[in-house]
Amino acid sequence: MKTDLSSYNNDWYQPGRRLKILCWYFINVLIFINPLNPISSLKVFFLKLFGAQIGTGVVIKPGVSIKYPWLLTIGNHCWIGESVWIDNLAQVTIEDHVCVSQGALLLCGNHNYKSTRFDLFVTPITLREGSWVGAKSIVTPGVTLESHAVLSVCSVATTDLESYSIYQGNPAVKVKSRQFN
């Protein structure tokens, strides 16, 4: 058996109307990815306009890329750092007081390496209250960071992270508990 990409078909995946996707593409490039736009409130406005649910006090830094805002929920007082990529082919839920640091990737889709057709699969990601995704880290499809969990710099979360725990590495493993002073 060999991989046959000519038989790849993800027609089943319809994240929205084509015109809506096209319009969002240009807003994403001009307003979000564009490093010359530091205005967080403008980004929040456009996210809401395209169907995202956004709380108060949300800070979105320059260079952020969001695939589909209608599949995004961000709670209150969250920080989304520079060059974060939210590749939300499925729902991404970011609860209150969450930090997603610069260069992080939230990846809701992947391909089935066991299939000769390389089938697409998508699963939601949830970042619970007070969790923190470190700089240049990756959260893979279907993962939940429980309350106040930390994914350290340059780490890859392939399974759920326990509450008040710090994870590090690729794949990320628990290295210690998170304690506050």
- Residue 50: pLDDT over 90: yes
Rounded to whole angstroms, the Cα distance separating 157 from 148 reads 15
| pTM (two decimals) | 0.96
Instruction: Give 150's pLDDT tier (boundaries 50, 70, 90).
Output: very high
Confidence of residue 1 (pLDDT cuts 50, 70, 90): confident
Task: State how far Cα 13 lies from the chain centre.
Answer: 18
Instruction: State the number of CA atoms in the 13 A half-sphere of 64 facing the CB.
Output: 27
* Per-residue CA distances from 157 to 7, 107, 115 (Å): 30, 10, 23
- Scan for tokens 């725990």, then name that residue: 165
Q: pLDDT, tens digit, for every residue of 106-138?
A: 999 999 999 899 999 999 999 999 999 999 999
Domains, the chain, in order of start with CATH, read 16-174 (2.160.10.10)
Alpha carbon distance 181, 130 (integer Å): 15
Q: What percent of the chain is predicted at pLDDT more than 90? A: 91
Return the pLDDT at 96.
Answer: 98
pLDDT value at 139 more than 90: yes
Q: What confidence category does residue 103 fall into, taking pLDDT thresholds of 50, 70 and 90?
A: very high
Q: What is the mean pLDDT of the chain?
A: 96
The whole-number pLDDT of residue 19 equals 97
DSSP state letter for 90: S
Residue 179's CB is within 10 A of a number of other CB atoms, namely: 8
Q: Would you call 92 helix, strand, or coil by DSSP?
A: strand
